[in-house]
Amino acid sequence: MTDSFPPFDVRLGNGLRVVAEPMPWLATVSLVLLLPVGSANDPEDGIGSAAILSEWLQRGAGERDARGYADALDALGVRRGGGVGRETLSLSAAFLQRDAAAVLPLLADAVRAPLLGDASFEGVRALALQDLDATLDSPAQRAGEALVAAYFESAHGRSAYGERSHLERLTPAAARADAAERIGPEGAVLAIAGGIDLAALPALLESTFGAWRGASRDLPAPIVRAPHEVSVPADSAQVQIGMATPAVDLDHPGWYAQQLALAVLDGNMGARLFSEVREKRGLVYSVSAGTRLVRGHAYLVARAGTTPERAAETVAVVAAEIARLRAGVEADELERASVQLRSSLVMSGEASGARASRLASDVMHLGRARSLGEVDAALAGLGLDDVNAFLAQTPEPRFTSVTLGPVGAAVAS
Partner 1 sequence: MSGLRIDHAVLADGLQVVGEHNPAAASTAVGVVIETGSRDERPEEHGVSHFLEHLCFKGDERRTGSDVSRAFDALGARYNAYTSEERTVYYGAVLPEAGLALLELFDGMLRPALRPEDIELERQVVLEEIAMYADRPDAQAFERGARAYFDANAFGRGVLGTEASVSALDADRVRGYWERRYRADNQLVVLTGHYDWDATLRFLEGAPRPAAGTAERAQRLAPTARAGRGGARKAGVHRAHVALFAPGVGRSDSRRMAASLLAHTIGDDDNGALFWALVEPGIADSAVLWHDPADGFGSFQAYLGCDAGDLDSVLERVDAELERVQREGVTEAAWRQAQRTLATGLTLRGETPMGRLVSVASSLLDRGRVQGVQEVVDEVLRTERSAGEALLAERPFDARYTFVLEPDAVTAA
Strands 239-247 vs 400-405: parallel, antiparallel or unpaired: antiparallel
CB-wise, 75 or 173, nearer to partner 1? 75
Contact 164, 129 (CB under 8 A): yes
Contact 70, 62 (CB under 8 A): no
Query: Site for partner 1 (CB under 8 A): how many residues?
Result: 78
Geometric angle at alpha carbon 328, from 322 and 329, rounded to 5° = 90
- Choose which of 26, 53, 205, 356 interacts with partner 1 (CB under 8 A): 26
Q: Applying CB under 8 A, does 133 fall inside the site for partner 1? A: yes
- Residues numbered 274 to 313 that lie near partner 1 (CB under 8 A) are 274-275, 278-286, 305-307
Geometric angle at alpha carbon 347, from 196 and 260, rounded to 5° = 125
Of 27-35, 144-152, 171-179, 358-366, which part binds partner 1 (CB under 8 A)?
A: 27-35
Q: Applying CB under 8 A, does 233 fall inside the site for partner 1? A: no
The string over 333-346, giving b where at least 16 C-beta atoms fall within 10 Å of a residue's C-beta and e elsewhere, is: bbebbbebbeeeee
Q: Where are the beta strands (DSSP E) in 234-312?
A: 239-247, 287-294, 297-306
The amino acid sitting at 211 is A
CB-wise, 25 or 395, nearer to partner 1? 25
Site pattern 354..393 for partner 1 (x: CB under 8 A): ----------------------------------------
Distance between CA atoms of 374 and 369, rounded to whole angstroms? Answer: 10
The amino acid sitting at 302 is A
Distances (CA, A) of 174 to 42, 50, 166: 12, 12, 11
Q: Applying CB under 8 A, does 267 fall inside the site for partner 1? A: yes
Which among 343, 355, 328 is positioned nearest to 380, based on CA atoms?
A: 343
Q: Applying CB under 8 A, does 116 fall inside the site for partner 1? A: no
Which among 359, 33, 54, 42 is positioned nearest to 188, based on CA atoms?
A: 33
CB-wise, 7 or 68, nearer to partner 1? 68
- Residues numbered 165 to 224 that lie near partner 1 (CB under 8 A) are none
Q: Applying CB under 8 A, does 123 fall inside the site for partner 1? A: yes
- Residues numbered 330 to 349 that lie near partner 1 (CB under 8 A) are 335-337, 339-340, 342-344, 346-347, 349
Q: Applying CB under 8 A, does 139 fall inside the site for partner 1? A: yes
Number of C-alpha atoms within 13 angstroms, CB side, residue 58?
20
Q: Applying CB under 8 A, does 28 fall inside the site for partner 1? A: yes
CB-wise, 52 or 224, nearer to partner 1? 52
CB-wise, 155 or 387, nearer to partner 1? 387
Q: Applying CB under 8 A, does 106 fall inside the site for partner 1? A: no
Write down the least CB distance from residue 23 to partner 1, Å. Answer: 8
Distance between CA atoms of 200 and 209, rounded to whole angstroms? Answer: 14
- Residues numbered 391 to 410 that lie near partner 1 (CB under 8 A) are none
- Residues numbered 74 to 93 that lie near partner 1 (CB under 8 A) are 74-80
Write down the least CB distance from residue 134 to partner 1, Å. Answer: 5
Q: Applying CB under 8 A, does 2 fall inside the site for partner 1? A: no
